[in-house]
């Protein structure tokens, strides 16, 4: 097998990016996944069969475990078509001499747009209104504006900054829960606050933080209880940042007005499947299936960013700094 075989286990991989890989000497193998299935549903044996002899792997939501990496000695680089890396064992990757990359910057615009869409949809009660109209009830439900409201952004990474710029067009007061000074690239007037102040004062809260041991359940029952009863919680970041059971209880009790959700705790913990089903069924929840980055333009961008990282590593070079999250080549060389 070629030493530059690249396996793509994500769906919606565009022809232009395939051509880029091939033009750079790669043999591209696209996984054939059933409609509606992501690579997160692939088992260990199936992944090993697909990845046999591969030097590069462009991955979506599959769990990249130590066992899997150890069984793939020819694999040099794992490149995520996305920006999270909580499903990748970075310690194992470093120890085994692998490189792990993310597609930094590829989906910023798509996810920020999606967050705005969720705010508008849940605030204007689109779901409830259309459901009534489908039953012949054309009465008007009163919604809530986004314009001139206070919006709290949790995390000012690339997506959070993109969202802040969009919100400035709605004349919003923008609060931001960040560590340290405010980063560059945000509109003037963004106010840094602590997380409890943000929860207490915001009309809309949009979460854009990574999932770590420290951030897990950052919106638990206590913090959700600090929110206004007229407030909306938006999560397009990671399931696990919000205690979905606590959110469900708050929504059912009318303690907050609604939620816009693209990610769910049940994605990583099947025990929460019933909670997710209840959340999705509530009239004051707008739900999407972890699809915020899944636009034609967003996927084309992230495909190419992921592919460029693969080519760089196979060429013996460094990927873009913002894309590199683990580099076992250096650790192995020092050893």
Q: What is the pLDDT confidence band of residue 3, given thresholds at 50, 70 and 90?
A: confident
Are 8 and 58 a contacting pair, CB within 8 Å?
yes
What pLDDT sits at residue 35? 76
pLDDT one-digit tens code per residue, 55-98 = 999 999 899 999 999 999 999 999 999 888 888 999 999 999 99
Which residue is it, tokens 């959110």? 247
- C-alpha distances (whole Å) from 106 to each of 1, 80, 322 are 31, 11, 11
| 3-state secondary structure at position 306 | helix
Residues 188-232 pLDDT 10s: 999 999 999 999 999 999 999 999 999 999 999 999 999 999 999
Q: Is-catalytic flag, 238?
A: yes
In this prediction, residues 132-140 reach a mean pLDDT of 97
Q: pLDDT value at position 330?
A: 73
Residue 331: per-residue pLDDT = 60
Q: Which of 4, 87, 267, 301 is catalytic?
A: 267
To which residue do tokens 């990496």 refer?
Answer: 69
CB 80 within 8 A of CB 306: yes
Q: Mean pLDDT over residues 267-294, rounded?
A: 96
Nearest-5° angle of CA 310, CA 312, CA 316? 115
- What is the pLDDT at residue 83? 86
Average pLDDT value for the chain = 94
Sequence ranges of the domains in the chain: 5-106+295-334, 108-287
Using CA atoms, how far residue 121 sits from 35, 88, 124, 186, 268, in Å, is 27, 33, 5, 25, 26
Residue 163: band (very low, low, confident or very high) from pLDDT cuts 50, 70, 90: very high
- What percentage of residues in the chain have a pLDDT greater than 70? 98
- Superfamily of chain region 5-106+295-334: NAD(P)-binding Rossmann-like Domain (3.40.50.720)
The pLDDT of residue 332: 57
Quick check: do 5-106+295-334 and 108-287 share a fold?
yes
63 catalytic residue (yes or no): no
Indicate if 267 belongs to the active site. Answer: yes
> 108-287: CATH homologous superfamily?
NAD(P)-binding Rossmann-like Domain (3.40.50.720)
Per annotation, catalytic residue among 5, 144, 290, 301: 290
322, burial (CB in 10 Å: exposed 0-12, middle 13-18, buried 19+) = middle
Predicted structure pTM score: 0.88
pLDDT of residue 32: 87
Structure tokens at 222: 């206590």
| Residues 180-189, mean pLDDT to the nearest whole number | 89
pLDDT, tens digit, 9 for 90 and up, residues 21-48? 999 999 999 998 877 778 888 889 999 9
Spot the catalytic one: 238, 301, 330, 332: 238
What integer pLDDT is reported at residue 40 of this predicted model?
A: 82
- State yes or no: pLDDT of 1 exceeds 50: no
Checking if the pLDDT of 316 tops 90, the result is yes
Q: What is the pLDDT of residue 119?
A: 98
- 76 Cβ partners below 8 Å, 6+ apart? 55, 56, 98, 99, 313, 314
């Amino acid at each position: 097998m070629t030493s530059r075989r690249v396996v793509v286990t994500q769906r919606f991989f565009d022809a232009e990016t395939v051509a880029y890989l091939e033009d750079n000497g790669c043999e591209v193998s696209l996984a054939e996944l059933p409609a509606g299935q992501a690579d997160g549903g692939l088992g260990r044996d199936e992944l090993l069969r697909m990845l046999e002899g591969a030097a590069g792997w462009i991955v979506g939501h599959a769990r990249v475990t130590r066992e899997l990496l150890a069984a793939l000695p020819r694999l040099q680089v794992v490149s995520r078509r996305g920006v999270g890396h909580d499903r990748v064992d970075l310690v194992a990757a470093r120890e085994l001499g692998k490189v792990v990359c993310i597609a930094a910057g590829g989906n910023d615009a798509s996810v920020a747009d999606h967050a705005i869409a969720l705010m508008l949809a849940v605030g204007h009660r689109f779901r409830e209104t259309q459901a009534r109209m489908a039953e012949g009830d054309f009465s008007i439900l009163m919604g809530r504006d986004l314009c001139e409201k206070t919006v709290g952004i949790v995390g000012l990474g690339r997506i959070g900054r993109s969202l802040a710029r969009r919100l400035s067009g709605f004349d919003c007061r923008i609060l931001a829960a960040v560590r340290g000074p405010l980063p560059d690239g945000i509109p003037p007037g963004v106010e840094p606050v602590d997380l409890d102040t943000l929860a207490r004062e915001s009309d809309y809260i949009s979460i854009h933080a990574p999932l770590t041991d420290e951030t897990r359940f950052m919106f638990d029952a206590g913090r959700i209880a600090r929110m206004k009863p007229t407030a909306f919680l938006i999560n397009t970041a990671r399931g696990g940042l919000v205690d979905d059971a606590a959110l469900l209880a708050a929504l059912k009790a009318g303690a907050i007005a609604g939620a816009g959700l693209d990610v769910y705790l049940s994605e990583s913990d099947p025990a929460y499947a019933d909670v997710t089903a209840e959340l999705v069924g509530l009239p004051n929840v707008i739900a999407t299936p972890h699809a915020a980055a899944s636009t034609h333009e967003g996927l084309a961008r992230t495909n190419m960013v992921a592919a460029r990282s693969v080519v760089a590593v196979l060429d013996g070079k460094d990927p873009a700094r913002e894309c590199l999250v683990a580099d076992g080549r250096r650790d192995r060389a020092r050893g």
